[in-house]
Amino acid sequence: MLLLRPVRAADLSDLYELSLSTGGGLTTLPADRDVLAAKIALSEASFHSGSDALEDAYYLFALEDLARGKVVGTSGIFASVGQSKPFYSYRILKLTQVSHQPDMKVDTQLLQLVNDYAGATELGTLFLHPDYRKGHAGALLSKARYLMLAAYPGRFSEKIMAEIRGWTDENGQSPFWDAIGRHFFGMDFQEADHINGMGNNQFIADLMPKFPIYTNLLPQEAQDVIGKPHDGARGAVRLLMDEGFRNAGAVDIFDGGPCFEVPRHDIRTLRKARSVRIGAIGTLDVSPGSVSLVAVADMPDFRIIATHMAEMNEEQVAISQEAANALSVKEGDAVLVSPLVNRRKEEPVSQTTTSLE
């Protein structure tokens, strides 16, 4: 069984091993032990904090295969971005110019550097080991965070956003970066991506061109990838859209990946979340597809699984002994539950890889 729980200092080696599998581009999971250790420490402090203050809090979850005692995935929540330093993105704008002599109209697309997401909550650090990209693991990683938002609304913003990794070629190069950033900093995308992952990206953001960029002046290959997700991000995009996220008309300043956003109260998994008690533990009488998220919403030990669950009544559910063991619950304990699948027919999420930055 897979258990999603707060990351621990003892997970450092597993996280480093995971970071080597990302292929680059996942800036919040860099292949650097010191940086990862700092992220773990910040996450532990955030989970242990009794305060509802948003600034700089970072909640990093580890997906553990309990049978192996191995961390096989991560997902995270940045409580409030753009507070201590700007959180830049490019807003995609449309400019229409008209001339009556001769009679002509020209529509032009612009990229305007903005800090529109200051104070927003960002979802990120979503990565699942290739061996586990089947079944419910990807959906568990992504959607479990919404139960955290439901349980502790005071810790998060009303606006929830996510940056999707932008398109790169088979060599890991970004046409978007090559057309814009490379000209200002004299470094290729992989080097800029590495610096970004180390947390030293502010000088790049501060020195990016502040005036609007006319996209028709960019090479065609760069224009074609503005707002285009990485091939490995299709599953993550599908999961976001399923929850009610919409394309925000903004892109990442490094690779041109799309930004998605949603008001917190519109997230489907969050809206369907409810508090119940464990009424029974043992053999279940449930249909094969009835899988739910079940969470013990305690801090600092927030724990979530995806499991079959039987409704006993409006206030009680039954779960298996294996599920109870994973969550460390007994009959009478309170849990937070929500359906894992929002679609009428479940779709496998096999492409949830290095998608959310």
User: Is the pLDDT score of 135 beyond 90?
Assistant: no
> What span, in angstroms and rounded, lies between the C-alpha atoms of 218 and 333?
59
Domain, as residue range, for 210: 2-90+114-269
Domain boundary among 269, 287, 310: 269
Residue 109 counted as domain residue = no
Q: Say yes or no: 305 and 160 in one domain.
A: no
Same domain, yes or no, for 314 and 334?
Answer: yes
Whether 209 and 327 share a structural domain:
no
On whether both 204 and 292 belong to a single domain, the answer is no
Same domain for 252 and 180, yes or no, is: yes
Q: In the chain, how many domains are there?
A: 2
pLDDT for 185 equals 84
- Residue range 37-64: average pLDDT? 89
Q: 169-173, 199-203, 352-356: which range is least confident on average?
A: 352-356
Question: Crossing angle, helix 33-48 and helix 12-19, to 10 degrees?
Answer: 130
* pTM assigned to the model: 0.90
- In a domain, residue 106? The reply is no
pLDDT digits (tens, 9 = 90+) for 188-208: 888 887 777 776 667 777 778
Taking the C-alpha atoms of residue 201 and residue 207, their distance in angstroms, rounded to an integer, is: 10
Does a structural domain hold residue 320? yes
The answer to whether residues 198 and 318 belong to one domain is no
pLDDT of residue 82: 87
CA distance 336 to 72: 24
Nearest to 175 by CA among 256, 117, 58: 256
Q: Are 175 and 226 in contact (CB under 8 A)?
A: no
Asked about 48 being catalytic, the answer comes back as no
Give the confidence band of 50 by pLDDT, cuts at 50, 70, 90. confident
Q: Note whether 205 and 318 are same-domain residues.
A: no
Instruction: Report the range of poorest mean pLDDT among 251-265, 278-292, 294-308.
Output: 278-292
Classify residue 194: in a domain, yes or no.
yes
What pLDDT was estimated at residue 263?
98
Query: Does the residue 299 lie in any domain?
Result: yes
In a domain, 351, yes or no: no
On whether residue 105 sits in a domain, the answer given is no
- 323 in a structural domain: yes
Contact 246, 146 (CB under 8 A): no
CATH number of the CATH domain containing 331: 2.40.40.20
325 DSSP assignment: H
Q: Which amino acid is at 24?
A: G
Which pLDDT value is given to residue 27?
78
Q: Which amino acid is at 64?
A: E
**Amino acid 288: pLDDT:** 56
- Which CATH number goes with the domain that contains 16? 3.40.630.30
Same domain, 42 and 79: yes
Q: How many CB atoms lie within 10 A of CB 223?
A: 16
Q: Are residues 182 and 203 in the same domain?
A: yes
- Report the mean per-residue pLDDT for the chain: 89
Q: Which of 223, 241, 269 is the last residue of a domain?
A: 269
Residue-wise pLDDT tens digits, 81-129: 988 888 899 999 999 888 887 888 888 999 999 999 999 999 999 999 9
Say if residue 35 is in the same domain as residue 118.
yes
213 and 254 co-located in one domain: yes
On whether both 119 and 216 belong to a single domain, the answer is: yes
Q: Give the count of alpha carbons within 13 A of 159, CB side only.
A: 14
pLDDT at 290: 78
Distance CA 306, CA 309 (A): 9
- Alpha carbon of 333 to those of 280, 298, 300, 330: distances in Å? 10, 11, 17, 6
165 DSSP 8-state letter: P
* Alpha-carbon gap, residue 148 to 59, rounded angstroms: 10
Based on the number of CB atoms within 10 Å of its own CB, is 207 exposed (0-12), middle (13-18) or buried (19 or more)? exposed
Question: So what's the pLDDT on residue 289?
Answer: 58
User: Of residues 129, 230, 265, 308, which has the active-site annotation?
Assistant: 230
Q: Is the pLDDT of residue 323 over 70?
A: yes
What pLDDT does 13 receive? 97
Domain boundary among 240, 269, 298: 269
Give the pLDDT score at 343: 52
- Mean pLDDT for 245-262 is 96
- Residue 102: asked if its preceding bond is cis (omega within 30°), the reply is yes
Number of residues in the chain: 357
- Give residue-wise pLDDT tens across range 209-250: 889 999 999 999 999 999 999 988 888 899 999 999 999 999
Q: How confident is the model at residue 59 (pLDDT cuts 50, 70, 90)?
A: very high
